[in-house]
Amino acid sequence: MMGEEKIIKTEEETESQRLDADEETVTREFLQMLEDEESNKFKFYQPEISPLQLDENEDSTDAETKVYLPDLGKGLGSVVQTRDGGYLAAMNPLDTIVGRKDTPKLAMQISKPFVLPSNKSMSGFELFQRMAGVGFEELSSEILSLMPMDELIGKTAEQIAFEGIASAVIQGRKKEGASSSAARTIAAVKTMVTAMSTGRKERISTGLWNVNENPLTAEEILAFSLQKIEAMAVEALKIQAEMAEEDAPFDVSPLTHQSHPLTSAVPLEDWIKNLGGQEAIKVVVVIQLRDPVRRYEAVGGPVVALIHAKHDEEKRFKVASLHVGGLKVRTEEKQRLTAMQWLLAYGLGKAGKKGKHVLIKGQDLLWCISSRVMADMWLKPMRNPDVKLSK
């Protein structure tokens, strides 16, 4: 028995040493990447798109630096993973060509994705009605405890990226090994970078929002939806700032239910591992917009994005709709002001434009906008009725 115990202990020590070595190697390589932005090892963060040739006579070196989506920081691409398993993505709400090294005018912080096993009889809007039925305090607490988000204010993009990869390495030691965990993180970020860039130039030039018709794996659903989430998040800012062009058509009452709508949510990776994906799903994330120019200060308040995907074939899905919603409450004046300030600073809001819908005394609301995919094309977002929050 003593001999067997010694063998097991030796094996455990060897495994621990191997993980320590893997972690040290990955972390050292990552630091080296940050130190040298020209390092070939960091190409996995760069979007795989051809340079935008702006003019036939333009110098080719200059053309290579012109993009629709700038990098987040030195040696980084347009998306990095955060410490909590979520992501930070550069945005281009003005749809203008920029330099790759330009500081993004806005960034989108995305929580770790969760899955709500789909109830076919319940639409996305009905889910928001159920969320409103929980009430403001309980709903806010439920969302933040389920999908906590790192506070990024005061950090640099390089620091955020390092914390993200270091966290993946540390978490990987407990499960699959540091290097394989880091590799999965890198692969996920690369998928998102590509998805954020693919088709953007054509969409901006034609105004048509065509999407890839190929069925998606569960891991690809969020990446596929990111560009549309980005655009709808800017519309969400206008609603929060009371500068939206379209007001809610009317108010509706919340739906009360015995169980809370988010209690069945499970992390996406756990759902894939345990359930395999033979049914429709709703992928849910929390989005917080941030201003890179102001040390990643929050712009507006957090919103919930709900992606409904239909089961298409063996473990493959097609995105059907996207809902983005948030809370309009009397106590969140700072969120309204930061949203208004950013919109006015970049010419996306009109001073004096105020929504016709004024909060009824003591009545807080949950607003929601939605868009559907039809004929492999995203439709224009639509403002849904506001839902009264249960007191």
What per-residue confidence (pLDDT) applies to 37? Answer: 41
The dihedral built from the CA positions of residue 33, 36, 40 and 42, taken in this order, carries a sign that is positive
Dist CA 62 CA 53 (whole Å): 9
Question: Residue 210: helix, strand or coil by DSSP?
Answer: strand
Task: Give the tens place of pLDDT for each residue, 134-181.
Answer: 988 889 888 888 888 889 999 999 999 999 988 888 877 766 655 667
Q: Which pLDDT does position 187 carry in this prediction?
A: 87
The reported pTM is 0.83
Instruction: Return the amino acid letter for 115.
Output: V
Token digits for 129? 């009605």
With a cut of 70, which residues of the chain have pLDDT below it? 1-64, 118-121, 174-180, 275-278, 351-362
| H or E element at residue 190 | helix 178-197
**Cβ atoms within 10 Å of 81's Cβ, excluding its own:** 24
Instruction: Please say whether the beta carbons of 349 and 243 come within 8 A.
Output: yes
- What pLDDT was estimated at residue 362? 56
Position 65 scores a pLDDT of 82
Calpha distance 145→378 (Å, rounded)? 32
CA–CA distance, 101 with 92 (Å, rounded to integer): 13
The domain spans of the chain are 21-388
For residue 299, CA distances in Å to 140, 142, 146, 193, 284 come to 18, 22, 22, 22, 20
Which amino acid, 84?
Answer: D
